[in-house]
Amino acid sequence: MADESTVDARSGVSPFAPLRHRNFRLLWTGLIVSNTGSWMQFVALGYLVDRLTQSPLYLGVLAATQAIPRILFSMLGGAMADRIDRRRLLLITNLFLMTTATLLAVLTITGRIRIWQVLVIAAVSSLVQSFDMPARHSMVPSLVDEHEVLSAVSLNSVAFNGAGVFGPSIAGLVIAAIGEGGCFVLNAASYLGTLGALSRMVIPRQETVGRVRLSEDLREGVRLLREHRHLVLFLGTVAALSFFGRPYVRMMPTFAREVLGVGATSLGLLQSAPGVGTIVSVMLVGRASASRGKGSLLGAAMLVYGLLVAVFGFARSLPLALGLLVLMGMMQTMALASANTLVQLNTPPHARGRLMGFYSMVAFGGLALGSLPVGAAGDAIGVGPALSAGGVILMVIAGLLIPRLRAFQ
């Protein structure tokens, strides 16, 4: 729990203030445990696909396979988050994710794993996450005070990306020692952290949308976007950032092998570096948004992020790549935390699940879909230049959006 003396003099809110709420604290600590395992599986899955195929194109295919269920079902997942108890929904999704991780572990350890099996399991896991992410995101504002939402969203970014400091590093060591299967086993066990936290939470009954058809819930979500064009702006910004700027995450195994010439242990460090930037950013995002406004922060962070991605594509040494990745993690978290908060605070409470479904769709779907053309371009011109091209395009888009984003505080 944060001491009141740490409250930011300019924003009036400590970056750790949300942790004073028991339910948020339980959710946050549980997520750190399970996300550490998820990051281990993320690294191991990419390493496994790269080992089986030796092609960046297949890393793009893996990402696209994960994107399709997210795009198709995130709206439904968001509607379900508004219709039923979010805590119960999260209990169900985490049980399913633990099961898919266990299956992946068994197939890998027994030597029966094939690329088609990896793709099918990845698609099923992504389908389940289409229901998990909207419920988790939309639950946050009900666990903290309204003026703490940005700090809570930033702390959730730490729970995900900050766990990326430990998960990938551990994954690199585990892969080098016993193979990818060990990472899948540890990920399956890590879901016990979230399940334990959710089972201890006591949350008042949420406001629901009433006894209307599910199709009407979905139409209302689309209607909100038509009526509130600024929500489309925020989600479009996230989509552009994810599509053009974030595919480096999925391309990292090939970048490590082909460009930097390093193995599993160094790959773990590369995947961990953005998480370090996330931890630093949580100390800065409240102060930065108070002085610039959330819209201005979103645009500026997006512009700098694009520049860093463009430079990263030309990195040829491990220390330089690690330094750039730390800065990329900072800018990415500032941008996404600002966009997430702007969407949540400009959405009626009863519809937050549906809008977070849209957010999940464009954030993860953009990353995954963007990885496919980057992977194809990587086969043709090299993965480094392909990543740099995306960074340049993102800078251009940021320059066009910044004047519009400045209007939002």
- Percentage of the chain beyond pLDDT 70 is 87
Residue 142 has pLDDT above 70, yes or no: yes
| HEC sequence for 25-70 | HHHHHHHHHHHHHHHHHHHHHHHHHHHHHCCHHHHHHHHHHHHHHH
Residue 8 has pLDDT above 50, yes or no: no
Pick the range with the lowest mean pLDDT from 96-105, 231-240, 288-297, 367-376.
288-297
Compute CA 263 distance to the chain's CA centroid, rounded to the nearest angstrom.
25
Do 268 and 172 meet the contact criterion of CB atoms below 8 Å apart?
yes
Overall average pLDDT of the 355-368 stretch: 79
User: Is the model more confident about 216 or about 148?
Assistant: 148
Q: Tens digits of per-residue pLDDT, 143-176?
A: 887 777 777 877 877 777 667 777 888 888 999 8
pLDDT of 178: 92
User: Cα dihedral sign for 234, 237, 243, 249?
Assistant: negative
pLDDT of 234: 87
- Residue type, position 161, single letter: N
Token pair, residue 120, equals 């099918």
Token pair, residue 279, equals 């931890």
Q: Tens digits of per-residue pLDDT, 370-384?
A: 888 898 898 889 999
Q: What is the DSSP letter of 207?
A: P
Element (H, E) at 164: helix 163-178
Q: How far apart, in whole angstroms, are the C-alpha atoms of residue 191 and residue 120?
A: 21
Neighbour count for residue 2 (Cβ, 10 Å)? 15
Neighbour count for residue 323 (Cβ, 10 Å)? 16
Cite the DSSP H helix spans in 54-114: 56-83, 86-109
Model pTM?
0.72
Do 326 and 274 meet the contact criterion of CB atoms below 8 Å apart?
yes
- Side-chain half-sphere exposure of 161, counting CA atoms within 13 A: 29
Using alpha carbons, list the distances in angstroms from residue 291 to 10, 11, 14, 128, 296.
8, 8, 15, 39, 10
Pick the range with the lowest mean pLDDT from 109-123, 187-201, 222-236, 392-406.
222-236
Question: Domains in the chain and their CATH numbers?
Answer: 14-204+213-405 (1.20.1250.20)
Residue 2 has pLDDT above 50, yes or no: no
